[in-house]
Structure 1
Amino acid sequence: MIPEIGNFDVKPIFPLAVQAATGYSADFDLIDYIGKGLAILDAAAQGSGVTSNIKFQTSPEVVHGSSYLIAGDTNKALNLSTGGMTKLALQFTQSGARQIKTIALQLKQAGTIAEGKVLTLTIQADNAGAPAATVIGTAGTVLCSSIDSDYAWVTFTFATPVDLANATVYHIVLTGNYDASDTNYIAWNALTVATGGNGEQYTGAAWQEVATLNLMYYATQYNFADITGAVFDEVGNAASQQSTVININQGRFIRAKNTVAGGTATGATSVSLVLRKKDAA
């Protein structure tokens, strides 16, 4: 007997589009699903000499990663009128090859910032101890008006988890698009230290180390690993339609990786995953 279609959900892992270069899908929570999933691939020819290899990965629960959580005694203001810094940042060293899902900063709003103004958080590579121009990941923006007048944790979420390498220095960079002001601004909670602080500031011309400040933050991260056998056959310069069964009980979250080699892919690709609901009769 064929189960009712209402017992299943269809997740668009890679919505139909040209996947020009190697990349990852968004991550999906598997908590409401059970058993095996059916992955379906529909790919056009990728271009002469170009190949596409798509596989699935799972991760256990999200866990805390890098952080600094000691109670603060001061702050660093973003974008003041008087000598204000247009960017604030902190430096950290990643432990373990992991994928960052969220970063939370302890922030407050001074005064009243105009409606519609936002904060943007990026993870950037290192360049001789300062943030490099290379942006590794950009989180969804947060409205300044949503931030309290007292310090609270403000979470920035990455739609696609950001892959970081073990024992590697990165920088968390915070910017805001509100007008410079000495009364209406965002402040980042910090602790005064004698030396070795994680703080950094951008003057508009160059990055400066703020060695006497540790800025408050914490990250949450995944630990994705390949699902055994959860891979499509390689797609080259010919259209391909495939399906494969995946054991989804190996982890809490799932994503797909598309490895493109031999040049820039030009053919559209879509991948969907059919999942059985836990409450299905």
Structure 2
Amino acid sequence: MLAQQRQSRIAERVHRTGAVRVAELVEEFGVSDMTIRRDLETLAERGLVAKVHGGATAVDFGSTSEPGFAVKQVRQEPEKQAIADAAATLVGPGQAIALSAGTTTWTLAHRLTDVADLTVVTNSVPVADVFYRAGRPDQTVILTGGVRTPSDALVGPFAVASLEKVNVDTVFLGVHGMSERAGFTTPNLLEAETVSTLASKGRRLVVVADHTKFDVVGIATIASLADADVVVTDSLLDEEARRALGAHVDQVVLAPVPAAEPHGPAKRTHTEKRP
């Protein structure tokens, strides 16, 4: 296959699914890792994809760009699975928790359907649906009202009003981006107030975000890095980003991504605590 044909197919796949990984493309096309990386570099120079660590995503057209739930669902799947596994260990029977909208919190929701006597507050239709389909009679799910966004979040004055008198043990917050300058951000202005309110309603705030979210900045800030008690991310986060988070957050959990460690056994979850 000619390079141009291969690149065209890669661009089409990114446009269709929202993201691709280098390892997947190497296996699919039977070429070297370096060849695929050159293809992605060429496509990125042409503005057809956005390069990220380990692959490429559909082009983000700015701080207000908000992909739909289905598009985000296929991005960084191994990382989200690892993050969900680690975050689920922070939840015990009988607790009250809140889950914001997002595909990482949606993945986490699947891990929590077996937790007894759990009360869940959420502004996410897909998250609520996970618990509804599980059908546990000892779990209570409270879904806020509000205006539905492209990421299937319920936001706005009705959502804020429903959250004002809620108090939970832990809030799990998915974010569009996180940076030292802007903190945790969203691309949706209407969502910012709702999620900021949600973030303030727990005794503990846990942010769940994969490594590609670092240094991504949405138009509106939800909370500062220091507002988070715990950040659960994945082991592909680079050293500089780890140091930056560690300077502001009391506990940074690095969930191991099996695909990142093809030789040898999977590593245990690594936790870094601020001195």
For the superposition of Structure 1 and Structure 2, which TM-score range results when normalised by the shorter chain? under 0.3
Whichever structure has more helix as a proportion of its residues is 2
TM-score of the aligned structures, taking structure 2 as reference length? 0.26
Using the size of structure 1 for normalisation, the TM-score is: 0.26
